[in-house]
């Protein structure tokens, strides 16, 4: 059995698929989780002092990324660290677990 479709039929099908998938894609893309924060943004987010953040970076007790001379904090990993500083997702950071951090 062979079915022939007109261009308008195909466009209607595609539009229907897009309408059904759009909400699902928006729901699953939590861009704020992958947000990179500066030191100042991390200070506001954690409600901590800037010196405290730098101290945690120096002792490697907080997950951070370094781009040249700039420090960045991935919001997703900060949230994980707040719940459990020993979480396996944080293993790449080589955190020093002497104390809570």
Compute the C-alpha angle 11/12/16, nearest 5°: 115
Tell me which residue of 71, 68, 64 sits closest to 90, measured CA to CA: 64
- Listed in sequence order, the residues at least 6 apart from 6 whose beta carbon sits closer than 8 Å to its beta carbon are none
Residue 101 — very low, low, confident or very high, per pLDDT cuts 50/70/90?
Answer: very low
pTM metric for this prediction:
0.64
Residue 55 — very low, low, confident or very high, per pLDDT cuts 50/70/90?
Answer: very high
pLDDT, tens only, 58-73: 999 999 999 999 999 9
Instruction: Tell me which residue has tokens 């020093």.
Output: 96
- Domains of the chain in start order, with CATH, are 34-93 (1.10.10)
- Listed in sequence order, the residues at least 6 apart from 92 whose beta carbon sits closer than 8 Å to its beta carbon are none
């Amino acid at each position: 059995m062979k079915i022939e479709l007109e261009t308008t039929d195909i466009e209607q099908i595609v539009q229907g698929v897009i309408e059904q998938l759009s909400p699902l894609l928006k729901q699953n893309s939590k861009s704020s989780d992958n947000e990179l924060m500066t030191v100042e943004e991390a200070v506001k987010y954690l409600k901590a002092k800037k010196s405290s953040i730098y101290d945690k970076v120096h002792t490697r007790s907080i997950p951070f990324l370094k781009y040249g001379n700039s420090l960045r904090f991935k919001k997703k990993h900060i949230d994980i660290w707040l719940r459990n500083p020993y979480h396996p997702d944080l293993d790449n950071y080589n955190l020093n677990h002497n104390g809570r951090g």
